[in-house]
Structure 1
Amino acid sequence: METLQNHIGGRWKEPTGEDVITVVNPATEEAVAHFRAGSPADVDHAVAAARAAQREWAALTVARRVERVHAWADTIAAHTAELAELECREMGKPVGIGRTFVEGAVAGLKAAADQALTYPFSETVTGPGPAGERTDIVRHPLGVTAVITPWNFPVAMVLGALGPLLAAGNTVVVKPSERSPLSTVRLFELADSVGLPPGVLNLVLGDGRTGAALTEHEDVRLVHFTGSVGAGRAVGTATGHRLSRSVLELGGKDPVVIDAGVDPVATAQAVAFGAFINTGQICTSMERIYVHERIADAFVEALVDAAGTFTIGDGLDPATVLGPLVDARQRDTVRRHVEDAVTKGATVRAGGTVPSERPGHFYPATVLTGVDDTMLVMTEETFGPVAPVSVVSSFEEGLARAAASRYGLAATVYTDDPEHIAAAAHLPVGVVWVNQWQGGGPERLYEPARDSGMGATGSRAAYDAATRPAAVHIAAAAPAAAL
């Protein structure tokens, strides 16, 4: 069983906390690694190393920083299969799916770093003052930043945050989820191999207490956090107290609104993918489905058929489509939501029962009908392979019910009606996808709404968050010397 360490100032160091955390393969329930939780002293050392490295890193040209990030990205790309297998061992993601997401994360890292080459770190603005005067707007890096990532996409979440932070001249301390640190540790080993300057990237392992020590540290000027609503509130409180920044992407209960005029079979297949892929463990998984009554029967029948194609198994098996949930606690949440729905009158059309014939934290692709908004499966984040379907009498009713949530991360709409597309754009969410789940390019930026977070991210918004603007006003001439 592997013993994991922190990476601070370019060196691997044993964490100094007292508690030992074990990483368990959720498909086999076998321990695969362990480590001591990082202590506040470890966090202090990591932040100090980042602070010491930041001035020299920021002094490099933008092009040079982008070049270093690209070198790391190319090395990561060469280890895609290995990283996908590590993610499978630590959180259960099937390796085929894992490779796709690692490849996408590498491409995203490069694209985000490249945006630094055209971002206006310095620009001149003019005003109504005397001729010859000007004001320069200079955007400075913040300094030491922190990235705290969840367990469901270890590689993608780390790489998705780091491009703008590093390219803008910041240094970073990363704290991955204690449930899935293996692939993040490997990312740092690969960073060593391309010669990133010591202290530019630092890794501290640990649980929520380690994360709290990082978010509360007085020298951390930005915390980029992805995780639960409760933990996000704590991060926002800590950063707000010391007047530093946070970018928070929190929970989701993403709706799908399906209009009467679409192909019910093709749409059901698309929804099955959005609801069940990665065993439903995606912040933007399709967790509430509102389908027009005119096509509801055909849609549900096709969705049930599609659920049957999501084969359960160990993600190392190429035949597996649906891996395990990350641990017993997450599976218990999924089971509780389904049982609550059934008790209140919902009907299980597919799945709905914990497999008893094998080890591992598995749960089948599940379709529920007859759901309503009194049920947990329609109001709280399930984060599992469950597709609850509610029939609506009109597209407008579907939009209204989609908007009636305390979450506001994303939403997906299937319609060919231009007026309905225009109406969907007003949903109170950060991202609206029309006729294709997870669409969008590197220029996309958004901000979650309601309990799903705060702080715009993506494209230029990520660089705005990673820098501090200062105005330098220059008069036409210095005052003349006195006679």
Structure 2
Amino acid sequence: MNQAKNYTLSEIEATTLEMVIDGESVPAASGETFTRSSPAHDIEVSTLPRGDREDVDRAVTSARRALEAGWRTVSGAQRSALLQRVSELIVRDLEKLALAETLESGKPITQSRNEVRSTAELWAYSASLARHNYGDAHNGLGAETFALVVHEPIGVIGMITPWNFPLLIVSQKLPFALAAGNTAVIKPSESTSSTTVMLAELVREAGFPPGVVNVVTGNRRVGQAIVDHPGIDMLSFTGSTAVGRSLAASAGQSLKKVELELGGKNPQIISADCDWPAAVDAAVFGGYFNVGQCCNSGSRLIVHRSIADEFAAAVAERAAHVPLGDPLDSATQIGAIVSEEQFGVIQRYVSEGVAAGARLVTGGAPARSDAGRFYQPTVFADVTPDMSIAREEIFGPVLSVLPFDELSDAIRIANSTSFGLSAGIWSNDINEALIAARDLRAGTVWVNRWMDGYPEIPFGGYGESGIGRELGRQALAEFSELKTIQLQVGPRDTRWVSAPDAERKGAR
């Protein structure tokens, strides 16, 4: 199919999907459903089951059965072949997946297509890792002792994923967990469930055993049921810091392992000697990609005072020319806001910025449209670090320009929030760039680039941006338990020669 295809509303048909449990497409036990309307067009685009605790219990039982029936001991080569097949099926269904993502999320179709391509790469990379999941051998423990350290699957992984990149984010978790030998029960966001269900259907088509991957759709009751379920061995969550904190507290009651990828208030330090066109472009891309609804949004522009006003004006001018509108049009680069609730959050923060004394350079209001929810790309100047627009995650198309005088000031401002997901610096001074990369408290630091990602590179944050890492070789460790096996070599030196037999048996 032509990847530059534009769609019209007359071509759009609402889809009806079911949950995937134990390798079968099934309705909710209650028979209830919910619908999703396009945030860009105000038309119904999907209907899915509204699951509940009974459905989660069925899914966990299925996942546990698949794990114990042999999935945990399937060879790396077999897992690799299955994961690679899913990657191929994702590429085959690229247009179908991209369209579903755009209709439910409101993001431009070109961005959805790129997301699907990146998703296929994640599954292909995980396929390579499945064949290299090895531990260590220790032979330096003395003549009589030999030890092995092996990686074992944790068990049944509960995954709760957000609405902004539903297909990509579940694929930053699921294939890595499968490569390590785990099974999964997934709860996608109620706003954007379709592509996760479609992915589970591709997993089934690829030949994975029934029950290895299960998807239960529904509202927060499903998520809480996964958190509370005694059959879930680990929780992997991507979403807001507030929800992540609550989830971790609940998981702590049963000491479940948790992996959390949470919010960010990500700074880009712009030095006076920066590559101006590249820095302006990155500021616009980092602030308005997916309408700013991105945990990696580069929403804080910490700019050298000598160029701060000029830079803010340049970003505003560039933003005014980024195509905003119907996400079904391949020319569109800024689409719709996902929900009325999120639309209200953006408006509240803009009002707070104005009230606090920040200077509105451009935007600051809804964009005119016949349907849907759109917001103008917004730039604030003269922002101070104490303002809410400089400290709190907005998740919308709002950039704040904060001036600095010395690099130490820029780093202090950058590190002044509770988040630490990502950060960047734009400078032609390599010494300055390396100092910033060392001192910025963030899981990822970009130098003269922004928001590039690769399956091979681990991703995660400091502080309130999360716990643990996704992607890279480290992801296998994240979804694994370490087991130490000690072996006796030759006759054992008896240490309790005078103790009775019964006492020796009780000794540790």
Tell me which interval the TM-score lies in, with the shorter structure as reference length.
over 0.9
Q: CA deviation at 1:298?
A: 3.0
Aligned-pair Cα RMSD in Å: 1.9
Q: CA deviation at 1:210?
A: 0.7
Q: Which moved more, 1:208-217 or 1:471-480?
A: 471-480
AA of the residue aligned to 2:148: D
| Paired position in structure 1 for 2:25 | 12
Q: Any idea what SS the aligned residue of 1:220 has?
A: coil
| Paired position in structure 2 for 1:428 | 441
| Paired position in structure 2 for 1:78 | 92
AA of the residue aligned to 2:409: E
Q: CA deviation at 1:112?
A: 2.7
Q: CA deviation at 1:281?
A: 0.9
| Paired position in structure 2 for 1:64 | 78
Q: CA deviation at 1:373?
A: 2.8
| Paired position in structure 1 for 2:177 | 165
| Paired position in structure 1 for 2:303 | 291
Q: CA deviation at 1:19?
A: 6.3
AA of the residue aligned to 2:87: A
| Mapping 1:226-375, distance limit 5 Å | 226-375=238-387
The separation in 2 between residues aligned to 1:106 and 1:384, in whole angstroms, is 27
**Matched length:** 480
The separation in 2 between residues aligned to 1:18 and 1:66, in whole angstroms, is 36
The separation in 1 between residues aligned to 2:374 and 2:387, in whole angstroms, is 22
Contact 1:311 1:321 in 2 (8 A): yes
Query: What's the CA shift string for 1:282-306, capped at 9, x where partnerless?
Result: 1000111110022223322221121
Query: What's the CA shift string for 1:92-130, capped at 9, x where partnerless?
Result: 11111111121112112211331232232x431123322
Q: Which moved more, 1:286-295 or 1:258-267?
A: 258-267
Q: Which moved more, 1:170-179 or 1:134-143?
A: 134-143
The separation in 1 between residues aligned to 2:414 and 2:492, in whole angstroms, is 63
Q: Any idea what SS the aligned residue of 2:129 has?
A: helix
Query: What's the CA shift string for 1:178-203, capped at 9, x where partnerless?
Result: 01011112112222222221101100
Q: CA deviation at 1:89?
A: 0.4
| Paired position in structure 2 for 1:119 | 133
Q: CA deviation at 1:446?
A: 4.6
**Structure 2 length normalisation: TM-score?**
0.91
| Paired position in structure 1 for 2:458 | 445
| Mapping 1:471-482, distance limit 5 Å | 471-477=484-490
Mark the CA change 1:336 to 1:190 in structure 2 (over 3 Å): closer, same or farther: same
Contact 2:159 2:187 in 1 (8 A): yes
The separation in 1 between residues aligned to 2:179 and 2:159, in whole angstroms, is 15
User: Within the alignment, does 1:128 sit opposite 2:141 as a pair?
Assistant: yes
The separation in 1 between residues aligned to 2:369 and 2:293, in whole angstroms, is 23
Q: Which moved more, 1:233-242 or 1:428-437?
A: 233-242
Contact 1:143 1:170 in 2 (8 A): yes
Q: Any idea what SS the aligned residue of 1:388 has?
A: strand
Query: What's the CA shift string for 1:352-408, capped at 9, x where partnerless?
Result: 111244221100111111222343211111111111112222222111101000111
| Mapping 1:210-225, distance limit 5 Å | 210-225=222-237
Q: CA deviation at 1:20?
A: 4.4
Name structure 2 gaps, 5 residues minimum: 1-13, 494-508
The separation in 1 between residues aligned to 2:492 and 2:280, in whole angstroms, is 73
Mark the CA change 1:215 to 1:242 in structure 2 (over 3 Å): closer, same or farther: same
Contact 1:265 1:299 in 2 (8 A): no
Q: Any idea what SS the aligned residue of 1:286 has?
A: coil
| Paired position in structure 1 for 2:62 | 49
Contact 1:264 1:302 in 2 (8 A): no
Correspondence for 1:99 among 95, 113, 116? 113
Q: CA deviation at 1:457?
A: 2.9
Q: Any idea what SS the aligned residue of 1:468 has?
A: strand
AA of the residue aligned to 1:402: A
The separation in 1 between residues aligned to 2:471 and 2:201, in whole angstroms, is 26
Mark the CA change 1:449 to 1:80 in structure 2 (over 3 Å): closer, same or farther: same
The separation in 2 between residues aligned to 1:344 and 1:144, in whole angstroms, is 48
The separation in 1 between residues aligned to 2:446 and 2:126, in whole angstroms, is 21
Q: CA deviation at 1:420?
A: 1.8
The separation in 2 between residues aligned to 1:346 and 1:138, in whole angstroms, is 55
Q: Which moved more, 1:394-403 or 1:445-454?
A: 445-454
Q: CA deviation at 1:330?
A: 0.7
The separation in 1 between residues aligned to 2:34 and 2:315, in whole angstroms, is 40
| Paired position in structure 2 for 1:416 | 428
Q: CA deviation at 1:465?
A: 1.7
Q: Any idea what SS the aligned residue of 1:180 has?
A: coil
User: Within the alignment, does 1:141 sit opposite 2:153 as a pair?
Assistant: yes
The separation in 1 between residues aligned to 2:456 and 2:491, in whole angstroms, is 42
Query: What's the CA shift string for 1:250-294, capped at 9, x where partnerless?
Result: 111111111111133331112101110111111000111110022
**Structure 1 length normalisation: TM-score?**
0.95
| Mapping 1:16-35, distance limit 5 Å | 16-17=29-30, 20-35=33-48
Q: CA deviation at 1:177?
A: 0.3
Contact 1:29 1:359 in 2 (8 A): yes
| Paired position in structure 1 for 2:501 | none
